[in-house]
Each structure stands twice: as C-alpha cells, then as structure tokens.
Structure 1
Amino acid sequence: MKHIFLYLLISTLSFNVFSQSEITENELKDHLLFLASEKNAGRFPGGKANRRVVNYLKKEFKKIGVAPFDSGYKQNFKAALRVEKGAMEKPVVKTCNVVGFIEGSDAGLKNEYIVLGAHYDHLGLGGPSSKSDTKNTIHYGADDNASGTSALLEIAEKIASQKHKLKRSIIFIAFGAEEQGLLGSQYFVDNPLVPLSQIKLMINMDMVGRMNKEKHVYMGGAGTFPNGVAFMQSLGESLNLTPIVHAGSVGGSDHVSFYKKGISVLGLHTGAHPQYHRPEDTVDLINFKGQKQVCDYIFKTIMELAATDYKMEFINQD
C-alpha cells in the first residue's frame, strides 16, 4: 500500500509539473475568460478594473517564476485619454506596465535581452476608437488584446520551465494604455529598466486569437534582424503554419515604439475581423487551438534566438 501511495504521489507531482510547463488551450481560455469578463468592463486605463487586471498579471508572473525588477512588477505612468473630436479633455489617469524578466545563464549574453510584449488594456465602454454605433457598451476585447495577454502568460510559463537553456535574458511586458496611443510602450522605451542598447529584439503580440482555416500568421519587421524573414518563414512552415512574413511593414502596435529607438522588432497577429473595436469581440469567437499554435511558434522563435548565440543586430527597414 505504501508503494502504491508513493507511486500515485510521484505521478501527481509529475503531472502537475507537466501541466504547468506546457502551453494549453484550457489555460489560455482561463486567462481569456478572466481578462475579457464583464466585471473587467473592457480593461480601460485607470479605475478598479485596471487594478484588478494588473494584480492578476502580477500574481501570474510571480507564480510562474518571472522575477520583478528592483522597482517591482509595476512601472507606473500617467495616461492622457483620447476623447471624441471637439469634446472636453478627460482627466489624466494612473495606469502601469506590468514587467518582469527571466535571466539567461551565459556570462556575456545574459546582458542581452529579448522583449516579449502584449498590451492588456482595451476600450472600456467604447469611446473615440470604437467602430460601433452602440454607446456605453462593454467592448470586451477578447482578441484585442486579451488573446495577446493570455499568450504572454502561457509563453512565459513555458520559458520559465526551460530557463536553464537560456543564454540571453527575456523581459516580459504587459503594456498599459496601448489603445490611447501606444502610451505604455512609449513610456517603457523612454524610461527603460535596462539599457536600450542591450535589447536585441522586441516581439509583440496583438490580436493572436482568430487564426483562420489557412493557418495564417501575419508579421511585420522580420527584416529588422539578420536572416529574419527566412528564419520566421521556415520555422512557421515546420510547425504546419502559413506565415505571411514582411521584412518591413512595422506599424500599428507597441513594437513601433521600440523600432523608433533602433531596436529589431517582430509584430505578430492573426488578421483583422468584423468585430475589431466593437462589443462583439468576445471569447466565444476565439480559436484556442490556433492561438496555442501561435504560442508554440513564438516560444520556439524565442528559444532559437535566446538559447543560442544567434547573431542579433538592428537592420533599418525605412
């Protein structure tokens, strides 16, 4: 009986380690259900919902082994909110980026960083960026960008389980106030927690939850690091994906802030859809199997670049 109990205990512990280190559709869904829930009311900057989401992200980072910088997980800043044309200005609100890192093991390369990021905010009840005629209605933002935020957590968890393989260090950032004009990423590059010269690549995930039947994964900026286009194309195809890889086409989300500072970038998404910036962008439309495939793609990309001495340098695409 004692041997049977010991076997069951070891089996349970092994299962828990495996389940916590693998990227799973169920965990992606759990994160998304929280982030795009009614109580979080569209994750608008400032207020209780914003604080609730930030606390969730901090807790997840700590649980999976993503370490805080000396100032903690929060990088606080103030956001000036967008208003309708001709309307009175809204007050500035307090929000933050949620930032952590996993250190590499190579004596020299651990001082080089790859950033993985996704914005966690959305439009709240609508506002000037909404595409809907319906006013004061929760814009859930399941794809934009609860999908990228949940992917950030799942990829971070898997990287943490294999951190002994890392040579370079990885910084994970959940950006605030992206929808207000890339404010979180702009604040980070203006107030970096490591020297910008040591950041060798920024990978951004914005709307990665709606993969189509052709398994398209779109990306811009692959030409900003050596052999990036061929690298991303080949790796994607090896995972049975159909990558649409652009050398340039850098625009539209938080990676732009890094590119403007002379940092190599990759901006990934799974394509536009009719629910963009509308209340109908809900969890029931997320393709979790496809989202997991995107996560696996990004995880393998990071490990190929961070667990090796792959040459990294900035290549301007303007």
Structure 2
Amino acid sequence: MQFRDAGLLPAGDSGNTFFQTWQEEAGEPSRQITMRNVIGVIPGTNPAFSKQSIVVGAHYDHLGFGWPDVRGENKGKLHPGADDNSSGVAVLIELAKALGPALKPERAIVFAAFTAEEAGKRGSAHYIAVKKKYPADKCVAMVNLDTVGRLYGKKLLILGGSSAPEWEHIFRGAGYLTGVDVDMVSEELDSSDQRSFTAKGIPAVQIFSGPNADYHRPSDTADKIDSDGLVKVATVAREVVEYLSSRSEPLTRRGPADDKQMSSRSERNVSLGTVPDFSYSGKGVRLSGVVSGSPAEAAGLREGDIITKMNSTAITTLRDLSEILKSLNPGSRVVIIFLRGGREMNTETKLIPK
C-alpha cells in the first residue's frame, strides 16, 4: 500500500488499518454498499497541539462506466478520470512519500483518499462526522487536491480562499518561494470535498489546475496530463502543508458555511457546453473555451466571450449561470447575451441533456 510504503501510520477505524469503512444505501433497487476512505497520518510532535490536524485530501473515485454524472451518449463507456481525480491522488501519494520519512510536524498531518466525491462528497462528509482521534473541531485546515493535472503554464487556481483570511497570504508566499504563479478565486463554488470541511467552519481550499472540455468524459485520459505541472502543484502544496503543520496559531475560522443551500439545491440535467475561466473576477462568466458539438459551439460562443444574461436573468457570477441551468430542461431554447471585445451581442441555442 502506498501510504504504508511512504511511512505513514494507519489512521482508519482502528490502530492497525488504513481503511475507514462503513455501509450506505445506494442504487436502484436500493442495496447496501461498502464505502472506504483510506487514511494515513504523520503524528504531531507538540503536546500543546494534541489532536490538532492538517488534512490533505484527494478523492479516488470517478464515474467508471457511467454512474452517476455522465452525458447520455457516454453511458456505458469507460471514464478514466486521469485529471479528475487520478492527478490529485498522484500528488497526494507523492506528498506522503516526500514528507512521511523525514518530517516531524508539530501538528498531525492526515492524508485522506476519499471515496464517493462524485456521489455527493460522501467520503469526506463521513470523515468529518466520525473522526475521533483528530476531530473536526481540532482540524486547523484542509488542503484538497482535485483536478490538478492540466496546468500547462497557466496560473494554479485556489478555490475556497474566503474560508480564512490567511489563505491569500499563505499561497502568495508559497507561490513566491516556488516560482509558481498562483491565483486566488474569490467566488464560492460547491466544487469538491473541501466543502464538507467549510460546512463545519474549517478553513479549507481546493488546489485546481483549471477546467477543460474533457471533464466527466471518456476523453479525460492520461496522455493529456501535464507531468511537469504536477510537480509544480506538489511543490506548492508541500510548502503550504509544512507551513500549516508548524504555524503557531490556527487559521481564523469564519463560521460554518451555509450548507442549507448546498443540500437543497437541485441537480442540473442540461448541458450548455461552456468552459468557464475561473481566473476571471469581473461581472459575468468569461469563457476559456466551449465543448465541441455542444449547444455553446452551435450558438457561436468562443473563448473570451463574457456571458452577461440568459433569457431575462442577469448573470454576474458562475453560480448565477449554474442556478439558471438547473431550472431548465433538455430542449429548452435560451437567448444568451454576451460581450465580445467590449461589444454586446446575442445568440440563441437549444440545451441538450447533460
């Protein structure tokens, strides 16, 4: 096992296992499914920080042959998930190998490979609910590695930085020390396992190399991974984790996130085919590209366009666009107002099933 070979100690359900195991109802017809997180730890050395932890996480699940979140035409096809999220697990393992043999952190560093992120962040939610040796109220921070495999010279994006005011300074320092260009994304996004932590008031971020048109598609393959970029991601993550493990004070907690909206939100069942530019901080949603064969491509949208309105609803953030799409059905026709080169334009297209 990779965690054992890296020198981590077991931190699962008992003192001699890396597995955190439980049962959940799932599927149609409903049946009991065994779920497993894989948890290892570098114990802390400072008695004053007893039970305190830094969690470094990545999810190892993906969509397999088509469950639960795939486009209709791709059901039954293998989804390799090389970027989402084999890339994150690869960096998690390499960090464990780099830090496990030598580092003597003041706080414990917990390495967590979560299951069922794609099915509602169930693995990370279970970890938060049951972990006793390193409880949630003693968790100083969480760093989530999800979809980090396609940096290719772009800025490394940090999602969830508003969960603690210190994050911006921490990542600015890590970027300076490593020479990696880092950009904090201000918008709150229900993006990955860090949300299980922020929902409990724990400062948590996702390290992210950016969106691409292969997301949740069979075309998310290993040949498209930027190996040099993975080294940069790992270098930044190592700087951050080592700093947090010995920082004299915990990060500032801003209170639990509003999880009511997260739990009640409907799932989107339509596809527009836009690839957002997460580094954009202005009003509207700027595109970094569109998916081939998508309604967005048919409408003539392209990289650099900024969507400002859909039908009669103004779009100021990516969340606005997501919420509108959740209210629509396959076959719905939408009028899109967008800016191109500062000029307002409009187009129309028909949404397809997700």
TM-score interval, normalised by the smaller of the two chains? 0.7 to 0.9
Output the amino acid matched with 2:74.
Answer: T
Taking the aligned partners of 1:247 and 1:307, their CA distance within structure 2 comes to 26
Q: Does 1:280 align with 2:222?
A: no
2:167 corresponding residue in structure 1: 228
**8 Å contact kept, 1:131–1:276:** no
TM-score normalised to structure 1 length: 0.74
Taking the aligned partners of 2:169 and 2:2, their CA distance within structure 1 comes to 34
1:61 corresponding residue in structure 2: 3
**8 Å contact kept, 1:104–1:163:** no
2:228 corresponding residue in structure 1: 289
1:32 corresponding residue in structure 2: none
**8 Å contact kept, 2:150–2:225:** yes
Q: Does 1:94 align with 2:39?
A: no
Residue 80 of structure 1 deviates from its aligned partner by: 4.2
Output the amino acid matched with 1:60.
Answer: Q
Residue 292 of structure 1 deviates from its aligned partner by: 0.9
Superposed, 1:148-163 pairs within 5 Å as 148-163=88-103
Please identify the structure whose Cα radius of gyration is greater: 2
Taking the aligned partners of 1:149 and 1:229, their CA distance within structure 2 comes to 24
Give the strand-richer structure, 1 or 2. 2
Output the amino acid matched with 2:149.
Answer: G
**8 Å contact kept, 1:132–1:279:** no
Matching residue within 86, 92, 102 for 1:146: 86
RMSD (CA atoms): 1.9
Taking the aligned partners of 1:81 and 1:150, their CA distance within structure 2 comes to 28
Q: Does 1:74 align with 2:74?
A: no
Taking the aligned partners of 2:253 and 2:93, their CA distance within structure 1 comes to 27
**Pair 205,81 (structure 1): closer, same or farther in 2 beyond 3 Å:** farther
- Which runs of no fewer than 5 residues in structure 2 stay unpaired? 259-354
TM-score normalised to structure 2 length: 0.67
1:52 corresponding residue in structure 2: none
Number of aligned residue pairs: give it: 253
Identity %: 29
Deviations 1:76-99 (A, max 9, x none): 1234446xxxxx445332120001
**8 Å contact kept, 1:75–1:97:** yes
Q: Does 1:137 align with 2:77?
A: yes
Deviations 1:134-167 (A, max 9, x none): 3311100011111111111111111113322x11
Q: Secondary structure at the match of 1:108?
A: helix
Give the helix-richer structure, 1 or 2. 1
Superposed, 1:87-236 pairs within 5 Å as 88-131=28-71, 133-164=73-104, 166-193=105-132, 194-214=134-154, 216-236=155-175
**8 Å contact kept, 2:68–2:118:** no
Taking the aligned partners of 1:270 and 1:278, their CA distance within structure 2 comes to 17
Output the amino acid matched with 2:172.
Answer: Q
**Pair 247,144 (structure 1): closer, same or farther in 2 beyond 3 Å:** same
Deviations 1:37-66 (A, max 9, x none): xxxxxxxxxxxxxxxxxxxxxx11111111
- Which runs of no fewer than 5 residues in structure 1 stay unpaired? 1-58, 83-87
Output the amino acid matched with 1:68.
Answer: P
1:9 corresponding residue in structure 2: none
Taking the aligned partners of 1:291 and 1:76, their CA distance within structure 2 comes to 30
Output the amino acid matched with 2:37.
Answer: N
Deviations 1:246-295 (A, max 9, x none): 35625211111111111110111101111111111111000010011001
